[in-house]
């Protein structure tokens, strides 16, 4: 079996599972945000449920329309807050102490190798970077998990992605996953497990691994996963003393397909609207003027991402016709960036630094685009209307490309501003 199949088998009380098989699996962690939790809570109460399956294994995170963008958002968060108190859910995190869920959870020791994690958000697959089976579900499924502690799953088949070689200058984990999605398409891994491996993956930080697994769903995958190693265990030792289980794929595990890449060939990528799969090297892009730059999100709001962007913006100014929004993914990341002088670099360059929120990524608030405007963002989606008006456009890139573009006023290669 593959690592994903092994985790599902253990949580289903089975010695073996096969792709396509339906199972009822025990859940180690369930979470939702201020958009998806209220719907789950409504269903949970409609069913007459009197208690949650485990008060310690549910996490409620207000991170999408927060700090509250309007009255409706405030009511959504108030509902979560009230539900947490009523049912004794300990892990409700208030604004000021919460970050973007997919980065906040690993950072605070909630995600463990071998866990089965269910989140009412499509980018739950991010958690696979720590060797957990993690997938997004709808709010009704999340309500059932909150009540029973179990999830009904179809076991996914697996695809293996092997990366070898040495990353070129300015090429990052974001470019690896953009290039991969560009290769296989937005449905290239439909309902499959994307297993990322190879010498290049082994050398990546946990932050970079989170970035790669975050975008597995953009290829249609059920989950993304990386076999845990010494880097994983070091990361965990700094955050938790909880026990966990390490799994790895069998040498004779069956894969639908195995894709191999030499990363020397991967230049910094840009995904053209309206799909994450429409990728080309930034060096080949035409003169595309931009109105807005977003650096942050659950994809690239890590400290290493902010450091990279700041290394280009230091001592320079944002183009006078461009607005730049920087969003650290969690308060911890924000604080460390502050200590390192990174926040000062952004502000002196002419950027605005916002609180940890999903905000502009989903066209929610704090950076909505007007008709005809173009943005380059380190986020994960560039669908039509994703960041605002249906006639606006979003281009996806890594933090270095985003920073270079902020300076030039058009989509630019980092080499142009170094």
Sequence-ordered strand ranges (E) for 105-198: 116-119, 133-136, 150-154, 157-164, 192-197
Binding-site residue set for [4Fe-4S] cluster: 298, 358, 361
Q: How far is CA 219 from CA 121, 182, 257, in A?
A: 16, 9, 14
Condensed to tens digits (0 to 9), the pLDDT of residues 192-204 reads 999 999 999 999 9
Q: How confident is the model at residue 138 (pLDDT cuts 50, 70, 90)?
A: very high
Q: What is the average pLDDT across 102-122?
A: 98
Share of the chain above pLDDT 70, in %: 100
Report the chain's terminal Cα–Cα distance, integer Å: 47
Question: What's the pLDDT at 353?
Answer: 98
Share of the chain above pLDDT 90, in %: 100
**Element spanning 237, H or E:** helix 230-237
As separate numbers, helices (DSSP H) first and strands (DSSP E) second, the chain gives 14, 18
User: What dotted CATH number matches 3-244+254-261?
Assistant: 3.30.499.10
Task: Name the residue among 140, 142, 115 with its Cα closest to residue 127.
Answer: 115
Binding-site residue set: 298, 358, 361
Question: What's the pLDDT at 409?
Answer: 98
Is 3-244+254-261's fold the same as 270-412's? yes
Beta pairing class for 58-61 and 192-197: unpaired
Question: What's the pLDDT at 277?
Answer: 98
User: What dotted CATH number matches 270-412?
Assistant: 3.30.499.10
Distance CA 230, CA 233 (A): 5
Residue 367 has what DSSP assignment? S
Q: What is the average pLDDT across 223-227?
A: 98
8 A C-beta contact, residue 145 and residue 11? no
Q: What is the pTM of this model?
A: 0.97
Q: What is the mean pLDDT of the chain?
A: 98
Distance CA 110, CA 107 (A): 8
Question: What's the pLDDT at 115?
Answer: 98
Q: How confident is the model at residue 191 (pLDDT cuts 50, 70, 90)?
A: very high
Q: 322: helix, coil or strand?
A: coil
Question: What's the pLDDT at 128?
Answer: 98
For the chain, domain boundaries: 3-244+254-261, 270-412
8 A C-beta contact, residue 159 and residue 193? yes
Question: What's the pLDDT at 181?
Answer: 98
CA dihedral of residues 331, 332, 335, 340 (deg, nearest 10): -140
Question: What's the pLDDT at 113?
Answer: 98
- Between helices 37-46 and 139-148, what is the axis angle to 10°? 60
């Amino acid at each position: 079996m593959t690592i994903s199949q092994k985790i599902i088998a253990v949580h289903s009380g089975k010695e073996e599972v096969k792709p396509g098989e339906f199972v009822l699996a025990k859940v180690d962690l369930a979470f939702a945000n201020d958009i998806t939790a209220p719907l789950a809570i409504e269903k949970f109460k409609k069913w007459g449920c009197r208690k949650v399956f485990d008060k310690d294994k549910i996490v409620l995170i207000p991170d999408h329309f927060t700090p509250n963008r309007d009255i409706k958002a405030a009511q959504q968060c108030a509902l979560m807050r009230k539900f947490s108190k009523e049912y004794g859910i300990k892990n409700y995190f208030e604004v000021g102490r919460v970050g973007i869920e997919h980065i906040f959870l690993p950072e605070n020791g909630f995600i463990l190798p071998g866990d089965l994690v269910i989140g009412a958000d499509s980018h739950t697959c991010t958690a696979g970077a720590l060797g957990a089976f993690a997938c997004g579900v709808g709010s009704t499924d999340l309500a059932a998990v909150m009540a029973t502690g179990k999830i009904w799953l179809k076991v996914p088949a697996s695809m293996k992605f092997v990366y070898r070689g040495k990353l070129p200058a300015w090429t990052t984990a974001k470019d690896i996953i953009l290039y991969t999605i560009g290769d296989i398409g937005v449905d290239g891994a439909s309902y499959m497990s994307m297993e990322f491996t190879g010498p290049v993956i082994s050398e990546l930080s946990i932050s970079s691994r989170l970035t790669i697994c975050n975008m597995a769903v953009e290829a249609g995958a059920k989950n993304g996963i990386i076999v845990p190693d010494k880097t994983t265990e070091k990361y965990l030792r700094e955050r938790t003393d909880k026990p966990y289980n390490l799994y790895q794929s069998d040498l004779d595990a069956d894969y639908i397909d195995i894709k191999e890449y030499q990363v020397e060939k991967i230049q910094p990528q840009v995904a053209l609207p309206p799909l994450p799969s429409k990728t080309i090297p930034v060096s080949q892009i035409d003169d595309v003027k931009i109105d807005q730059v977003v650096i942050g999100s659950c994809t690239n709001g890590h400290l290493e991402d902010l450091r990279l962007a700041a290394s280009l913006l230091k001592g320079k100014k944002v183009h006078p016709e461009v607005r730049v929004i920087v969003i650290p993914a969690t308060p911890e990341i924000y604080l460390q960036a502050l200590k390192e002088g990174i926040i000062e670099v952004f502000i002196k360059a002419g950027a605005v630094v916002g609180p940890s929120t999903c905000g502009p990524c989903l066209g929610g608030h704090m950076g909505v685009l007007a008709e005809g405007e173009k943005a380059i963002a380190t986020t994960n989606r560039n669908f039509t209307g994703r960041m605002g008006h249906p006639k606006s456009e979003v281009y996806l890139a890594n933090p270095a490309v985003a920073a270079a573009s902020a300076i030039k006023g058009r989509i630019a290669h980092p080499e142009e501003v170094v």
